[in-house]
């Protein structure tokens, strides 16, 4: 098979386009493919699809194609233009590349696959033999393409959470589709305005279609949800993992205080036991469990706090919000009459937000998806040594976590 016929098939070209010439430069390690169209060919106006004769050509352009047996492969052509009575002189749509692209459709699709596999621009650039800027341009263009294709699909169950962009008080807010495990909106900051900015990226139909929204106990996000979601009071679910984290931190505060008192009189019973109280029993080794049992049976204040914390875990095992409320009120009465100040503070916090804590028993959602996505985002960020540009960071999140249709068609 002649090389022109070979590349005609490789590129998937059909009349009027033909491969006119192929040259190989072994020293440069490059194959150059020159594409032309037949004389008298007609092309569609890119605006109205009207069939028109070729008006003229722009200067020759180049497109990077998939490598041929490790040779860098470049396609050359002079794109034709048509003169439309309605839209004027327009460059026609080429079958091998999107408008304004310097890469063929095949190369862009492969590049997206490599970017998704490596999860770093630098790593993909090394495989593709492209510059960082060229590779980032492919990623950025893929996100723009995916967002343009996105429809306003209703998301019944969503989550809202914050993510640190840099050290210090530097955050972004994200909205997640809990059913699809995708990031749906991003805004700067972690206050009410940031929440409003995220919700504004959803259509009215999407906001009206929200049935439940998981979040931590951030007053800013609660306020934003109530301003943007109809009947939000009945749809907000304070994340159970966040609530239990507050309780676990309270146990640790009790332990630290008691440890100081015991250490002052030479009692080292709580030395190096922090992990034992913070971890679930199911996560302890047999040796750790034996040590925990030995300390717990000594009836320390830390043990009491831990027991109340474990009792709180059962709050989310009730069949409905009413029975969960009854259970909490009983738990609250027990805790509030103790001297465990850190745990009493947590009990009061839950009491003030109780309706949106026990709403879990109605909607059965958590922000576990958000936590998982946050881990993925941080992993991507670490691989590239961090994103200095906030907009680039957002673009990368959409590329890897947005569930977008990234590929050129």
Concatenated DSSP letters of 104-138:
-HHHHHHHHHHHHHH--HHHHHHHHT--HHHHHHH
Full pLDDT tens readout for the chain, 409 residues: 588 999 999 899 999 999 999 999 999 999 999 999 999 999 999 999 999 999 999 999 999 999 998 999 999 999 999 999 999 999 999 999 999 999 999 999 999 999 999 988 999 999 999 999 999 999 999 999 999 999 999 999 999 999 888 776 689 999 999 999 999 999 999 999 999 999 999 999 999 999 999 999 999 999 999 999 999 999 999 999 999 999 999 999 999 999 999 999 999 999 999 999 988 888 888 999 899 999 998 889 999 999 999 999 999 999 999 999 999 999 999 999 999 999 999 999 999 999 999 999 999 999 888 888 888 888 877 766 556 788 888 999 999 999 999 999 8
Can you give the pLDDT at residue 209? 97
C-beta of residue 159 within 8 angstroms of C-beta of residue 213: yes
Can you give the pLDDT at residue 279? 86
Residue 283 neighbours by CB distance under 10 Å: 10
Can you give the pLDDT at residue 186? 96
51-57: strand order across its sheet: 42-44, 51-57, 80-84, 88-91
Can you give the pLDDT at residue 282? 82
C-beta of residue 36 within 8 angstroms of C-beta of residue 44: no
Can you give the pLDDT at residue 373? 87
d(C-alpha 378, C-alpha 161), whole Å: 14
d(C-alpha 293, C-alpha 43), whole Å: 81
Can you give the pLDDT at residue 220? 96
The DSSP symbol for 58 reads P
Sign of CA dihedral 326, 327, 329, 334: positive
Can you give the pLDDT at residue 377? 85
Helix, strand, coil percent values for the chain (each to nearest 5): 50, 20, 30
d(C-alpha 221, C-alpha 242), whole Å: 14
Phi, psi of 212 (to 5 degrees): -155, 145
d(C-alpha 186, C-alpha 130), whole Å: 29
What CA–CA distances, in Å, run from 355 to 213, 235, 347, 391?
A: 14, 10, 14, 37
d(C-alpha 68, C-alpha 32), whole Å: 10
């Amino acid at each position: 098979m002649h090389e022109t016929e070979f590349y005609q098939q490789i590129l998937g070209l059909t009349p009027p386009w033909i491969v006119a010439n192929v040259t190989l430069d072994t020293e440069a390690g490059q194959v150059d493919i020159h594409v032309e169209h037949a004389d008298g060919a007609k092309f569609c106006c890119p605006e109205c699809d009207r069939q028109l004769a070729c008006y003229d050509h722009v200067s020759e352009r180049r497109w990077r194609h998939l490598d041929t047996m490790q040779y860098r492969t470049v396609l050359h052509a002079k794109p034709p233009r048509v003169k439309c009575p309605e839209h004027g002189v327009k460059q026609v749509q080429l079958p091998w590349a999107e408008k304004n692209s310097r890469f063929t459709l095949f190369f862009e699709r492969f590049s997206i696959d490599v970017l998704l596999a490596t999860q770093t621009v630098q790593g993909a650039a090394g495989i593709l033999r492209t510059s960082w800027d060229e590779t980032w341009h492919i990623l950025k263009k893929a996100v723009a393409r995916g967002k343009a294709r996105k429809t306003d699909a209703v998301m019944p169950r969503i989550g809202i959470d914050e993510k640190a962009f840099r050290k210090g008080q530097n955050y972004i807010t994200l909205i997640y589709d809990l059913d699809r495990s995708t990031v749906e909106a991003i805004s700067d900051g972690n206050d009410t305005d940031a929440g409003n900015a995220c919700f504004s990226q959803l259509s009215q139909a999407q906001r009206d279609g929200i049935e439940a929204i998981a979040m931590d106990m951030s007053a800013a996000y609660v306020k934003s949800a109530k301003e943007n979601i109809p009947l939000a009071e009945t749809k907000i679910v304070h994340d159970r993992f966040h609530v239990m984290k507050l309780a676990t931190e309270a146990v640790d505060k009790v332990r630290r205080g008691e440890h100081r008192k015991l250490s002052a009189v030479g009692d080292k019973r709580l030395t190096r036991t922090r992990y034992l109280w913070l971890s679930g029993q199911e996560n302890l080794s047999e040796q750790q469990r034996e040590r925990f049992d030995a300390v717990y049976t000594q009836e320390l204040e830390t043990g009491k706090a831990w027991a109340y914390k474990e009792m709180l875990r059962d709050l989310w095992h009730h069949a409905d919000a009413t029975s969960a409320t009854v259970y909490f009120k009983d738990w609250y009465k027990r805790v509030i009459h103790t001297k465990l100040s850190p745990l009493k503070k947590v009990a009061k916090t839950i009491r003030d937000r109780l309706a949106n804590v026990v709403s879990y028993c109605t909607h059965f959602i958590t922000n576990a998806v958000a936590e998982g996505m946050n881990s993925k985002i941080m992993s991507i960020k670490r691989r590239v040594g961090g994103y200095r540009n906030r907009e680039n960071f957002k673009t990368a999140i959409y590329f890897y976590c947005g569930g977008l249709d990234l590929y050129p068609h």
